Structure 1
Amino acid sequence: MIAGGGTGGHLFPALAVAEAFLERDARPQILFVGSQKGLEKQVLRKQGFALETIEVASLVGKSWRKKIGSLLLISKSLGQSWRLLRSFQPDLVLGMGGYTSGPVVLAAWAMGKRTAIHEQNVIPGLSNKILGKVVDRVFISFPETAQFFPTPKTFWTGNPVRKRFKAPLPQPPAEDKGLFTIFVFGGSQGAHRLNSSMAEALPLLADLKQRIRVIHQTGPKDYQQMREVYAQQGWAAEVYSFLEEIEMAYARADLIICRAGASTLFELMAMGKAAILVPFPFAANDHQTLNARALEKVGAAFLVADRELNGEFLSNLLRKLINDPAPLKEMGKRAAALAKLEAAQNIVELCYELVRHG
């Protein structure tokens, strides 16, 4: 049983682990547990995985009244998790983050099931800090995270990426030849600051319009507006609300402008791509900034604070890189050197070992 999701940042690593389980052995039965509102309903059934949902809510960033409501919902979430565990009877429960991970893993531990969690970020959230005390295994993306968990059961695996990011990809289309391709995206839900800053930058880059191709995943809220912005200013951009085959956009890009969630960073590493990282400023413990610094400190990415990003800043940086793209290739090589391409397989092997030997 794999618990987690809500956003692509939690769901896609979970999907990578599920793929690795089936690559190792076609026999395992895998059940995902997610939420009704998450991305998992849209993605998992297309991939052929079973999904059950429970009711969950966050305690972070809410008023006291809403926090009380969320606390009351926890007991319901635990009850729903208990019933799913009784029905499915898993050999192992793996929590991959997101609001569903906590109650499912906690209920599994209370029932005596083998349990493990994966922590994506440099600084773990409250839920994983608590779960880390009781689960059998803790898998971490960054070595710095080991200080927050008991050493004997903590393993630095990296963050799993789907096999599509590791497979040979076709060459970029002929129409990309000679163009500087920029891929802009803010995760599965989009990022308004990235969208608005790109819109502001376009008129400042008008003289370079014929040299640039833009691929832009806007998220659902800004999709129509951004399509109109590009059209009105005469840019031949490819604009999407959500990209199913996002690895193709990575492959075509000379530069990627994105947030700094762990899943995004490990996809950049797997693809060996240079990036301008703009951490989401309201992430718990400011973990996206800490994540991004892991790449910035080795020269594998640019780190730009959200408050500093605007059209003028972005256009100036892009102009510099378009006119002198050579540093981006070195940046991509440094990102690739950080990759842990076997993260999903390593997690699967450690899970099998746990089930066999405890």
Structure 2
Amino acid sequence: MNYKKYIISGGGTGGHIYPAIAIAEELKHRQPDAEFLFVGAKGKMEMTKVPEAGFKIIGLWISGIQRKLNFSNLIFPIKLLSSLLKSRKVIKSFQPDVVIGTGGFASGPLLKMANIMGLPTLIQEQNSYAGITNKWLAKDAKSICVAYENMDKFFPKEKIVFSGNPVRKDLIDTKKYRTEALQHFELDPDKQTLLIVGGSLGSQRINELIAEHLPFFESKNIQVLWQCGKIYFEKYKSLNSKNVKVLEFINKMNLGYSVADIIISRAGAGAVSELSLVGKPVIFIPSPNVAEDHQTKNAKSIADKNAAIMITETELEEKFKNQFETLVEDKELQKKMSEQILKLAKPNATQTIVDEIEKLGKQ
């Protein structure tokens, strides 16, 4: 057998899923005969997003530990044992050369079992504050690819590769999609476009902010392309109009980015990496409801370099309108922010990670 076989696991949110898909696509590009199997968590979004990208996926009965004591926490040890046993069965059957984890519930038991079975594993950490799953797996991983500096406070220094976060190829040079995007979203080419992305699942606070400021955007002659998220779509779809496009999810994000003049976004690691590549003026509104407040750390690392604006949820009432208005009206500021954020981009991140995976496959 000359071709390689890879198991890839990452999920729960787009921030774990899309890096996993980007890695698989680059491996497939280099090795057209390679075989791939994804492992996700049953009921999570990877179970639909991965097949949509053209890859097979198997689901484990696993979930995270909740902050409050509840029934889900009580049965967590049973779920973990079940997932470890199923992972062993999957690995024995598929016989991968390398096992790759990009974070999320399912990657924990899968990579732990791969390590027990003596297979080489690589983990990819997207955030500036390492996730609990990757910290658990770091001791036995052969290689750890990271997107931020100073990650040796979480991981063994000798295993760290400073790669950046993998992103989809179609997000590099999005300008070429602008004409297609204007038609796709039915937007006016003569108006500035504000793109809102509150994360793959949507954001209640950002959605409230946008709904409240629609008349303000209208007064500034700004059209709005608004990804509100699946659970909020029913609430906000009535606000759809000629100048406000309310969407549950933007599947062709390359089109969304290409048509945007200004972007409002959460500050998940995937979003930060994508937006650095896209090079548009960004206002980050980090979610406060994540482990160790890592989105604020992600956003601050960009804002401190004058490459974006960061406004916390508690500051929105006080700061948003003035800062947004300044940004819209100051074209020079827009240009400077675009230039600064582009300097932080790592367009070769996926290739660097796949180089590491291929090294492990040869050992």
- TM-score tier, shorter chain, comes to over 0.9
Counterpart contact for 1:121–1:141, Cα < 8 Å: yes
Deviations 1:300-328 (A, max 9, x none): 11111122224x74333322222223211
Cα distance in 1 for partners of 2:340, 2:44 equals 34
With 197-206 and 288-297 compared, the bigger mean Cα shift is at 197-206
> Aligned-pair distance for 1:226?
1.7
Is residue 253 of structure 2 the alignment partner of residue 253 of structure 1? no
Cα distance in 1 for partners of 2:151, 2:299 equals 14
Counterparts in 2 of 1:60 and 1:139: CA distance versus 1, 3 Å: farther
Is residue 118 of structure 2 the alignment partner of residue 137 of structure 1? no
Q: Counterpart of 2:196 in 1: which secondary structure?
A: strand
Counterpart contact for 2:47–2:59, Cα < 8 Å: no
2:273 to 266, 269, 274: 266
Is residue 67 of structure 2 the alignment partner of residue 61 of structure 1? yes
Cα distance in 1 for partners of 2:207, 2:122 equals 37
How many residues are paired up? 351
Cα distance in 2 for partners of 1:158, 1:36 equals 28
Residue 225 of structure 2 aligns to which amino acid in structure 1?
I
Is residue 90 of structure 2 the alignment partner of residue 84 of structure 1? yes
What residue is the counterpart of 1:279 in the other structure?
286
Residue 280 of structure 2 aligns to which amino acid in structure 1?
K
Is residue 184 of structure 2 the alignment partner of residue 177 of structure 1? no
What residue is the counterpart of 2:230 in the other structure?
220
Cα distance in 1 for partners of 2:225, 2:246 equals 6
Q: Counterpart of 2:219 in 1: which secondary structure?
A: helix
1:202 to 191, 194, 214: 214
> Aligned-pair distance for 1:254?
1.1
Which runs of structure 2 are paired with 1:277-316 in the superposition (5 Å)? 277-310=284-317, 313-316=319-322
Counterpart contact for 2:15–2:268, Cα < 8 Å: yes
> Aligned-pair distance for 1:140?
0.5
Residue 270 of structure 1 aligns to which amino acid in structure 2?
L
Structure 2: which 5+ runs fail to align?
1-6
Q: Counterpart of 2:84 in 1: which secondary structure?
A: helix
Deviations 1:56-77 (A, max 9, x none): 1111423155322222211111
Counterpart contact for 2:311–2:319, Cα < 8 Å: no
2:346 to 334, 340, 344: 340
What residue is the counterpart of 1:244 in the other structure?
251
Deviations 1:116-164 (A, max 9, x none): 1011111112221121111111111111223321122110110000111
Counterpart contact for 1:205–1:319, Cα < 8 Å: no
Q: TM-score, normalised by structure 1?
A: 0.93
Residue 127 of structure 1 aligns to which amino acid in structure 2?
T
Cα distance in 2 for partners of 1:285, 1:88 equals 36
Q: Counterpart of 2:178 in 1: which secondary structure?
A: coil
Cα distance in 1 for partners of 2:42, 2:209 equals 32
Cα distance in 2 for partners of 1:62, 1:79 equals 27
Counterpart contact for 1:5–1:98, Cα < 8 Å: yes
Residue 197 of structure 1 aligns to which amino acid in structure 2?
L
Residue 221 of structure 1 aligns to which amino acid in structure 2?
I
With 168-177 and 316-325 compared, the bigger mean Cα shift is at 168-177
With 167-176 and 127-136 compared, the bigger mean Cα shift is at 167-176
> Aligned-pair distance for 1:90?
0.4
> Aligned-pair distance for 1:331?
0.6
> Aligned-pair distance for 1:199?
0.8
Q: Counterpart of 1:309 in 2: which secondary structure?
A: helix
Deviations 1:261-289 (A, max 9, x none): 00000100111122111111011011111
Could you list the structure 1 runs, at least 4 aligned residues long, displaced by more than 4 angstroms after superposition: none
Structure 1: which 5+ runs fail to align?
none
Counterpart contact for 2:217–2:223, Cα < 8 Å: no
Identity %: 34
Cα distance in 2 for partners of 1:39, 1:325 equals 38
Cα distance in 2 for partners of 1:205, 1:219 equals 20
Cα distance in 1 for partners of 2:336, 2:38 equals 39
Counterpart contact for 2:177–2:254, Cα < 8 Å: no
Is residue 114 of structure 2 the alignment partner of residue 108 of structure 1? yes
